[in-house]
Amino acid sequence: MLRLIALTLLAWPLCLGANRLSDSQSPYLLQHADNPVDWYPWGPEAFERAEAENKLVFISIGYSTCHWCHVMNRESFSDEEIAAYLNDNYICIKIDREERPDIDSVYMNFVQNLTGTGGWPLNVWLTPDKKPFFGGTYFPPQDDPRRGRGFLQICKDINGFWQNDPDGLLSRSESIVSTLNAKDGAQTSEADTTAISIDRIADAISAHLFAFDEDNKGFGRGEKFPSANTLSFLLRSAATTQLHPEDRETARRIGLETLDAIITGGIRDHLGGGFHRYTVDAGWKLPHFEKMLYDQAMLANALIDAWQLTGEDRYKQAATETLDYVSRDLRDQRGGFYSAEDAESLDPENPSRKREGAYYLWTHQDFERLFPNEAQRAFLIQYFGVKKAGNAPYGNFPREIFEGYNTLRILVSTSTPEQQEWLQDGLAILKSERATRARPHLDDKVITSWNGLAISAFARAGLVFERPDYTQVASDAAQFILQELYDENSQTLYRLFRQNTSPVTGFAEDYAFLVEGLLDLYEATADHRWIQKANTLQDAQDAKFADQEEGGYYLFESTEDIVFNRSKRPSDSALPSPSSVAAKNLARLSQLYDSEIRLKQAETAIAAFGADLQRSGSNFPTLREAILYVARKPLQIVIAGDPESDSVKTMLSEVNRRLLPARMLIYADQADGQAFLGEHLEFIQTARSYDNQATVFVCENFVCQMPTEDQKVLAQQLDAKR
């Protein structure tokens, strides 16, 4: 019966022109500040009023670049009739999922258990004490035979239930919360130290092969997400010598074939760099056009892995174009990285309305107009797969939306110098033409965790590709986060910055992802202060989020703000699991501090989800990657010498052109950094370079081979580890 119910919303009479969201820092909440709906932000005021007036609460969760959030905003939340009903009968709350991932995660879990699906906008009805009883995602404004029950009618049905049988709804909501909390407790994985085994890597490779789409590449048969964490896991597995050669070759093949499909497909922005969020088809052709910072960062890291594994320039080019896009279009002048660009923008053919993909799509007529040279035009049309009817595949959308429009994707290669010249000229012309169009909306909030991912990508690219400009971008971002979003006195990170620091404190992912970024930044800069800061933040994460009894990390701190139990998420979603990233961080810190305590923490964080690792072959790629740091002797590469010297840079180049999973790069810089590390690592104290020549020590578990100043000898030592 409750499945016929849906979103509700209420607030008292509206002020002139704006509701309670107008002072928010969230771009998403500001998009709703002029709605006729009297939205509240999440907080005690809304629930106190709901309690006082005995009204239900309607919450709607989304983010500023969410396409279906925009649609529901236009259709329902901007509609005077619907708004009036909500304002008369509900207390309505708008939530930015990127600002409050804790609230989003618990109510998303509820909706997924209720309906079997999830997504945004996420619309949930609560009792005044925050307990949910019904929810869903997008609803059309009115009953529609094609799209389902209408939002307004659902709101009326729900309110009718509340008026006629409030005790029944209260009882149902109480039962739902109790059931989900009990289910969450029952699903807690048994600790299993046998999970810390290379066998868990091989299991996952076999499972990914089973799910691999041999025709289109990627995993599954429907819409395709890039799954960058899975790709990095596969590529690093391919470089893991302890695995069987057949498993390594399988991991290499399916990982690289998927990356090739991504970098040639419509999911990639071939003009401006970067990648869209996913494709609605199985063949990587038609994307959902929003561009997220975290996708850029994680795909750049996967592409760096691919270049180190193969030496193929196409991966390096795709990585640098992606990072150049982020640095150019998603970077605040003070150093932080913005969150996303929208899928919609003003339609060049009808500037009064927005259309999905308007900034990125092309017609056959565009090519006829822009390329009068028939030979060049014919080649570019073939190269990008442009068709008069449009090249969008049939999929989960009305065909007419993209009728006549084309995404750019690479279908052929350039085989002659003339074709290469045509291509470069064509790219320049298309870029110039696109620059005349209105850009999509930019979500300019700076999220700590996503910035941690970007810091990692820029630091690694700076080191591997020998790009000091990338390293500087990473350093600037880290300094911005630590200056604007970190309170040193309380060792507290804050979630986001936009104009000012948000009062929302950070979550486990904010700490874990930033720690990883700082450790990568140490390797790119040889500045030991990044290690110190990473270790301090790890202490803070332990204090705030660690499950001291079972291991792993809760997603958020204990709070009365949420009625559900805290959860630990070992599986990756669009973002990696905070517990899994923390396990890697702890293993790395254990080597830098020679700390058995840190190593034990890493092992416990993995073992906490041991039963999950045994049961689920293709899940948990980041957690499985963490196994590489603790299931075998750690590989340390110690470079003695001035990090700015040419000889050190030469040796670094030799190291970084190889993919060596879970290797640690440690600098004996003959200065403060070496003195700091020497307090914890005895053998570092005596690592010296002579005659201004870098000396490299290749070690396993701090047992080192003969030091060398010879690049060729170093190459032989490293190749023996591949």
Which helix (H) or strand (E) segment is 378 a member of?
helix 374-384
Please tell me whether residues 520 and 646 are part of one structural domain: no
Residue 353 lies inside a defined structural domain of this protein: no
- Whether the pLDDT of residue 97 is over 90: the answer is yes
> Domain check: are 607 and 678 in the same one?
no
Contact 696, 707 (CB under 8 A): yes
88 closest CA partner among 55, 60, 59: 55
3-class DSSP state for residue 93? strand
Q: Could you tell me if 39 and 93 are in contact, meaning their C-beta atoms sit under 8 angstroms apart?
A: yes
Are both 170 and 257 inside the same structural domain?
A: no
User: Quick one: pLDDT band at residue 190, thresholds 50, 70, 90?
Assistant: low
Confidence of residue 19 (pLDDT cuts 50, 70, 90): confident
| Residue 472 predicted with pLDDT over 60 | yes
Residues 52 and 151 in one domain: yes
Checking if the pLDDT of 1 tops 50, the result is no
Residue 26 has pLDDT above 90, yes or no: yes
* C-beta of residue 412 within 8 angstroms of C-beta of residue 382: yes
CA-angle at 230, arms to 228 and 231, nearest 5°: 65
- How many degrees, rounded to 5, is the angle at CA 640 between CA 637 and CA 643? 100
DSSP state string for 286-334:
SEE--EEHHHHHHHHHHHHHHHHHH--HHHHHHHHHHHHHHHHHSB-TT
**Cβ neighbours of residue 681 under 8 Å, at least 6 residues apart?**
592, 594, 666, 702
Mean pLDDT score across all residues of the chain: 93
Q: Are the beta carbons of 589 and 595 closer than 8 angstroms?
A: yes
Lowest mean pLDDT among 189-198, 483-492, 644-653: 189-198
Q: What percent of the chain has pLDDT over 90?
A: 85
Instruction: Determine contact, residues 674/666, Cβ cutoff 8 Å.
Output: no
DSSP state of 74: I
Q: Are 478 and 455 in contact (CB under 8 A)?
A: yes
Last residue of a domain, one of 186, 202, 236: 186
Question: What letter would DSSP give residue 195?
Answer: G
Name the token pair of 308: 């180190």
The token pair that represents 68 in the structure block: 């279906």
Residue 46 lies in a domain: yes
State the Cα–Cα distance between residues 336 and 296, nearest whole angstrom: 15
- Looking up residue 648, the CATH number of its domain turns out to be 3.40.30
Domain co-membership, 177 together with 199: no
Confidence of residue 8 (pLDDT cuts 50, 70, 90): very low
Tally of domains within the chain:
4
Is residue 502 a part of any domain in this protein?
yes
At residue 11, does pLDDT exceed 60?
no
List all residues 6 or more positions away from 117 whose beta carbon is below 8 Å from its beta carbon.
111, 137
The pLDDT value given to residue 160: 98
Of 10-19, 264-273, 461-470, 688-697, the least confident: 10-19
pLDDT reported for residue 189: 58
On whether both 166 and 52 belong to a single domain, the answer is: yes
Is it the case that residue 598 has pLDDT exceeding 90?
yes
For the chain, percent of residues with pLDDT exceeding 70: 96
Cβ within 8 Å of residue 214, ≥6 positions away: none
Instruction: Output the pLDDT for position 560.
Output: 72
Q: Are both 410 and 479 inside the same structural domain?
A: no
Is it the case that residue 611 has pLDDT exceeding 90? no
Give yes or no for residue 394 having a pLDDT over 80. Answer: no
Which of 87-101, 308-322, 679-693 is predicted with the least confidence, judged by mean pLDDT? 679-693
Question: Apex CA 105: angle with CA 507 and CA 490, to 5°?
Answer: 15
Q: Kindly tell me if the per-residue pLDDT of 662 is higher than 60.
A: yes
Is there a contact between 403 and 390 (Cβ–Cβ < 8 Å)? yes
Does 16 score more than 60 pLDDT?
no
Domain holding 176: CATH number? Answer: 3.40.30.10
Picking from 186, 209, 232, the residue at the C-terminal end of a domain is: 186
Q: pLDDT for 403-456, tens place per residue?
A: 999 999 999 999 999 999 999 999 999 999 999 999 999 999 999 999 999 999
Asked, for residue 674, whether it belongs to a domain, the answer is yes
- CA dist 613 and 201 (Å) reads 10
* Region 59-75 average pLDDT: 97
Q: Is residue 350 part of a domain?
A: no
pLDDT beyond 90 at 400: no
Sequence-distant (6+) residues with CB within 8 A of 11 are 19, 20, 37, 38, 39, 40, 86, 87, 90, 91, 92
What CATH number is given to the structural domain containing 587? Answer: 1.50.10.10
Q: What is the pLDDT of residue 710?
A: 97
Q: Is the pLDDT of residue 632 over 90?
A: no
How far from 37 is each of 60, 163, 208, 506, CA to CA, in Å? 12, 21, 46, 29
| Tokens (6 digits) for 350 | 């009808």
Question: What is the reported pLDDT for 692?
Answer: 87
Residue 684 structure tokens? 């570092």
Sorting pLDDT into bands at 50, 70 and 90, what band is 398? low
Q: Let me know if 255 is exposed, middle or buried by CB neighbors in 10 A (0-12, 13-18, 19+).
A: buried
The residue segments making up the domain with residue 114 are 2-186
Does residue 109 lie in a domain region?
A: yes
Helix 374-384 and helix 417-434, axial crossing angle in degrees, nearest 10: 80
pLDDT at 542 over 60: yes
Crossing angle of helices 578-592 and 508-525, in 10° steps, is 40
Counting Cα atoms < 13 Å in the Cβ hemisphere of 161 gives 25
Confidence class for position 618, pLDDT limits 50, 70, 90:
confident
Name the pLDDT band for 187 (thresholds 50, 70, 90).
low
Structural tokens at position 326: 């982020």
- The SS3 call for residue 353 is strand
User: 606 Cβ partners below 8 Å, 6+ apart?
Assistant: 195, 196, 583, 613, 623, 626, 627, 630
Report which residue type is found at 8: T
Interior CA angle at 618 toward 617 and 624, to 5°?
85
Q: What is the pLDDT of residue 194?
A: 80
For residue 30, pLDDT over 90 is answered with yes
The rounded distance, in Å, linking the Cα atoms of 4 and 715 is: 66
Assess whether 397 and 289 both reside in one domain.
no
Query: What is the structure's pLDDT at 147?
Result: 77
Q: Please indicate, yes or no, if residue 619 is contained in any of the structural domains.
A: yes
CA torsion angle 388 390 394 400 (round to 10): -100
Tokens at 190, concatenated: 């048994």
Q: Are 581 and 690 members of one domain? A: no
Please indicate, yes or no, if residue 355 is contained in any of the structural domains: no
In 3D space, the residue among 333, 308, 330 whose CA is nearest the CA of residue 319 turns out to be 308
Same domain for 287 and 141, yes or no, is no
pLDDT at 114: 94
User: Would you say residue 391 has pLDDT above 50?
Assistant: yes
More confident residue, 193 or 215: 215
Cα 419 to Cα 227, 272, 412, 413: the distances in Å are 33, 21, 11, 9
**Reduced to 3 states, what is the DSSP secondary structure of residue 428?**
helix
Distance from first CA to last CA of the chain, Å, rounded? 60
Domain limit, last residue, from 139, 158, 186: 186
pLDDT at 185 > cutoff 90: no
The answer on pLDDT for 6 being more than 50 is no
CB environment 436-469: b (16+ within 10 A), e (fewer): eeeebbbbbbbbbbbbbbbbbbbbbbbbbbebee
533 and 612 in a single domain? The answer is yes
3-state secondary structure at position 682 = helix
CA distances (Å), 79 to each of 33, 37, 308, in order?
14, 9, 54
Going by pLDDT thresholds of 50, 70 and 90, the confidence category of residue 17 is low
Residue 511 to residue 492: CA distance in whole angstroms: 9
129 and 13, same domain (yes or no): yes
In whole angstroms, give the CA distance from residue 452 to residue 507: 13
Considering only CA atoms, give the Rg of the chain: 27
Instruction: Examine the pLDDT at 12 and tell me if it is beyond 60.
Output: no
CA distance 56 to 129: 9
